[in-house]
Chains A and B, each alone.
Chain A
Amino acid sequence: MRILVCVKRVPAPGSRINVTPDGDAVDTAHLGFTTSPHEECAVEEAVQIAEQHDGEVTVLTLGPAESEEQLRYAASVGAHNLVLIPITEVDWDPQRTASALTTAISGIEAADGTFDLILFGNESADTGGFQVGIRVAHALGRPVVNGIKGIDLADGAASARREIDGGFEVYEVPMPAVLGIKEGINLPRYPTMKGRLASKKAEVSATAVEAAAGGQTRVRLHRPLEQVSETVILGTGPEAAPAVVDLLEELGVLS
C-alpha cells in the first residue's frame, strides 16, 4: 500500500491576522507555522492506513524551503518519505500548484510505482482554494471525492464517508484514488520526543518543478471591517436567568 499525502505549510495566527504593508501576504514576522489542519488529519489517516495495511507514507509539499519543518513533523508522527517542491514566491495559484504537483507525482510514480491513495486536505487553511486535489486527480485520471471523514479499504477500493447534514454519504472509490480529507476523520497523534528526534535524521528529497501561472492573480490581502458592537450585559451569575429568558422570548426561540 503506497500512500501519498500532499500538505501545505501555513502560518499559525491568533485572532487577528495582520497583512504586510504592501498587502501581498500575511505578516508572519512573529508567527509560527503549522500544517493545514485538514492535512494534518490526512497524514494521520495515511499513517493509520499504513500501519494496518503494511503501507508506506510519502508526504509531499510545495512551498518555501522552510516547509521542510512540516515534512519533518509528518515524519515525526510516522511518515516515511519526504518530498519538497521548493518555491521562492509567497504562494503559487491553484492551477500552477496543481500542475507542479501532478508533474512531481508522475515523476515519483514513474520511479517507484503508483500511489494507491493520494490524500489532500479538503482545502488549505489560508488561501482556501478548494481545488488543488481535484485538479491533480483530473490530470492523473483518477477518481476523487472531497470532504472525506472516514475511509475503509477493501478489495482494491476505498469506502469513503463524507459528512452531510444529519449523516453521511458513502462512496466506493476504486483505487488508485484521490481523497480530500476533512478534520474530524481522526484525532491526529502528537509526535513523541523520540519521533521528533528521529525525524531530524529523515531525508528530504527536493525536486524543483516549473509550472505556468494560472489565471487567478492576487492583488492584495486586507482585513474585513470589524463590526464594533456594544455587548449588552444581561447580568451576573444565575440571577441573570430571567433576563436571558426574556431575550429568548423576544427572539422567538422559546416557542
Chain B
Amino acid sequence: MSLLVLCDHDRGTLDEASLEALTFGRSLAATAGITCEAVVIGAGADTATALLAAHGAQRVHLADHDVLTDYGPEAWGETLTQLVRSIGATAVTACGTDRGNEVLAHVAARLDEPFVANCTDIDPGDAWTMTRVQWGGSLLEDATLDAGTRVVSVAHHAVEPSPAEEPGEGLVVPFTPDLRAEVARTVVKDRVVLTQGITLATSPVVVGGGRGVGSEDGFAQLEDLAGVLGGVVGCSRAVTNNGWRPHSDQVGQTGTRIAPDIYIAAGISGAIQHWVGAMAAENILAVNTDGEANMVAKAGYAVIGDLHKVIPAITEEIARRRG
C-alpha cells in the first residue's frame, strides 16, 4: 500500500514544486497509513535521491527508457501508469503544475480512474474527501473521491516544502517501463530559449503595469525600474488586450502565475483575473492614483500617486543610494 509522488527534475536538480508535492504526499501517506514513495523519470535523476529521502520518500523509483530522454506527456503518463500497477500503488500524486496535471490526467485516463486536480487538503478515509481549487483559487470545492487508485494533484504553492522530521529510507529502485514506440509521438523534439536569465514566473522582483500605464511607451519607466532591481516587467490582461505588451508578460489566471519577493503593481486596479496570478507574491506594493482601488486594498504596501511620477522617482532614489 503506497502513495507514489511524481517528482520532476532537471538533470538531477529537483524543482520546488516537486518538494511541495513530496511534503504534501508524505503527510497524506502518514494519515492514510501507507508508505510514501517518489518516482523520478529520465536519466541523471540519481543525484536527487538524497533530497527525496530527506523529504520523506521511503523508496525512490528511477524510471528510465530510451523514450524518456526528454519529456513527453504520453510516455511519462504510460511510465507512471505501469509503475503504479507494478508496485500496486493505491494513490499517485504530483504538484499541480502544467506537467504534473498533464501527466496525472494521462495516468487517470489509462487507469480509467478519476483525477482530482489542485487539492489543497485531503482527508483520506474509506472515500477520500478533499478541498480543491476552482476559479484559479478564488473558490474552493469540497469533493469526495471514490476510486480504486486515487489520482490527485496538490495545488502549486498550497504547501511550503520542508524536509521530513524523520527522513525516509530513500531506497533506490530502478524501473524500466515497457513503452511502445507510439508514445514517442508526443515527446519534446526541440527547445527554444527565448530570454536569457530571469523569467516572469521565477523572478524575485516583478514590476507590473495595468491600464493606468496608458500606452505601450508608458512601460519604459517600468522597464527601467525592473532593470535596476534585476526583475522583469509583467502586465494585466487589459494591457495585453490593448496590444501594449505580449501575452507572455501577462500575470493572471490565464497568464503567468508569479511568486516574487515583491510585486510592484503600478496602475493596476486588481481585477480577480489578475489577482489570482499575483497573490502568491511575498509582498505587494501598489502604486495607484486611486487610494480606493482594489489592488491598494489587497496590497501590503501602497503609494498613492501617478505611477509616471512615482516609478521614476523610485528608480532615481535607488540610483542615488547606489551612488
Contact = CB atoms under 8 A, between A and B. Distances in A.
Give yes or no for direct A-B contact (beta carbon below 8 Å): yes
Given A95-B114, A125-B135, A241-B317, A169 B143 contact: no
Given A170-B192, A231-B299, A238-B305, A183 B247 contact: yes
Nearest to A14: B272
A114 interface: no
A166 interface: yes
Q: Which of B114, B229, B282, B300 has the most CB of A within 10 A?
A: B114
A234 B302 contact: yes
B254 A234 contact: no
Contact of B254 (A37, A134, A222): A37
User: Chain A at the B interface: mostly helix, strand, loop or mixed?
Assistant: mixed
Interface stretch (A61-69, A80-88, A196-204, A245-253): A245-253
Contact of A224 (B138, B291, B303): B138
User: Chain B at the A interface: mostly helix, strand, loop or mixed?
Assistant: mixed
A126 B141 CA distance: 11
A169 B98 CA distance: 13
A216 B192 contact: no
Interface string B188-199: 111111110001
A254 interface: yes
Interface stretch (A49-57, A105-113, A141-149): A141-149
12 contacts: A130-B115, A138-B110, A165-B202, A166-B199, A169-B188, A169-B191, A183-B247, A187-B240, A216-B145, A217-B145, A232-B302, A245-B321
A208 interface: no
Interface stretch (A1-9, A71-79, A171-179): A171-179
Contact of B194 (A127, A168, A241): A168
B145 A231 contact: no
B140 interface: yes
A214 interface: yes
A167 B313 contact: no
Interface in B57-112: 71, 73-74, 96, 98, 101-102, 104-106, 108-110
A92 to B, nearest CB: 12
B321 to A, nearest CB: 6
B61 to A, nearest CB: 23
Contacts of A239: 313
Given A215-B113, A215-B114, A219-B142, A145 B73 contact: yes
Q: How many of chain B's residues touch chain A, expressed as a range? A: 35 or more
Contact of A165 (B138, B199, B255, B305): B199
Contact of A94 (B115, B140, B199, B248): B115
Contacts of B255: 183-184
B254 A167 contact: no
A129 B142 contact: no
Given A168-B194, A172-B185, A216-B115, 16 more contacts: A129-B117, A131-B115, A167-B193, A169-B71, A169-B191, A184-B247, A187-B240, A215-B114, A215-B147, A218-B143, A235-B304, A240-B313, A241-B310, A241-B314, A245-B317, A253-B204
A26 interface: yes
Given A236-B304, A247-B285, A253-B204, A241 B118 contact: no
B173 interface: no
Interface in A12-26: 13-17, 19, 26
Given A167-B192, A214-B114, A237-B305, A131 B105 contact: yes
